Amino acid sequence: MDLRIRGGTRPDPFLGAADLLSTEHNLDRTVEVQVRDDPDERTWAAHYDDRHVLNISEQAATSAMARELALHELAHMARYEQGHASHTQSTDEALFLALSGRDVERRKLTHCYQIANHMRDIYADDITLSVAPAAKLVQFLESQLATAVAAAPGPEATRHPDGRRVSVAADPDITAVNAAFALGLVERHGLIDGDHRLYDLARAAAADAPGVGMETFKRLFRTLADDPTESDFRRELVTATRAYALDGENGRAAD
């Protein structure tokens, strides 16, 4: 793997992530690592004809999770090069199919993109969990969810979306979906027992968001087919979008 690190950060986490990925997968395109000052966006990958770019905040690049975060993004790149349906299907197209003719508030539309990202994350993490230990990922999911649940204003709070990126701690609805993602991922890979703290946190998140079917989303994330066709993945994305953006109009999505 051709890995080029820019931004003056220590290379060890990225080289370690590349070594782990290469035990089962290889990337044909060059990977450029760009360390950013903005702490709000932890990591994200961009794909071009001749390279991938791994964007990572300086805060994330120097954290204890740096290697794991880098590995996650490299796994997204592997899925992209594989032509995996989760990484070739247009989110905009699926959301248009799901929501055509319906009025949806901007807050929920923003969250629908996050749900689509979660679905792609499942497939990336299927790779990461095949090449790396799971303990740090489980601890990370627990920590993130605990922080979000503690900061959630509760279901009766008034929210004023302004078009900017919505923090998970600012909205109990997407916190419940994030809890479903965490449980769906760990159950998909059998990583925790039934008495793990993640379940308590997820129940608290669900209680704060009575209009969101947390169990519905957990089941969706857990049971995503390993190698779906593009049509299959589009159908799952449409289903998830409608469950979040439309089913809540008449109360909790059916569990």
Q: Which two tokens stand for residue 128?
A: 């990461």
Mean of the per-residue pLDDT values for the chain?
89
- Can you give the pLDDT at residue 153? 65
The confidence band for 42, taking pLDDT boundaries of 50, 70 and 90, is confident
Task: Annotate 145-202 with DSSP letters as a single string.
Answer: HHHHHHH---TT------SSPPPGGG-HHHHHHHHHHHHHHHHHTT-S-TT-HHHHHH
* pLDDT at position 39: 62
Largest Cα–Cα separation, the chain = 52
The per-residue pLDDT for range 194-233, each reduced to its tens digit, is 999 999 999 999 999 999 999 999 999 999 999 999 999 9
Q: What pLDDT is stored for residue 255 in this prediction?
A: 43
Where does the pLDDT of residue 251 fall: very low under 50, low under 70, confident under 90, or very high at 90 and above? very low
Written as one letter, the residue type at 39 is P
Q: What percent of the chain has pLDDT over 70?
A: 88
pLDDT of residue 179: 97
Q: What is the pLDDT of residue 193?
A: 96
SS (H, E, C) 88-128: HCCHHHHHHHHHCCCCCCHHHHHHHHHHHHHHHHHHHHHHH
Percent of the chain scored above 90 by pLDDT?
81
Q: How many angstroms separate the CA atoms of 97 and 71, rounded?
A: 32
pLDDT in tens, 107-150: 999 999 999 999 999 999 999 999 999 999 999 999 999 999 99
pLDDT tens column, 152-186: 764 444 333 333 333 434 589 999 999 999 999 99
User: pTM of the prediction?
Assistant: 0.89
Residue 250 has pLDDT above 80, yes or no: no
More confident residue, 253 or 239: 239
* 66-87: average pLDDT: 97
Give the per-residue pLDDT at 167. 41
pLDDT at 248 over 70: no
State how far the Cα of 101 lies from the Cα of 245, in Å rounded to an integer.
Answer: 13
Cα 78 to Cα 9, 68, 232, distances in angstroms: 24, 15, 20
Those residues whose C-beta lies under 8 Å from the C-beta of residue 37, and which sit 6 or more positions away, are: 57, 58
Q: Does residue 254 have a pLDDT over 60?
A: no
- Domains by residue range for the chain, with CATH: 3-82 (3.30.160), 87-250 (no CATH)
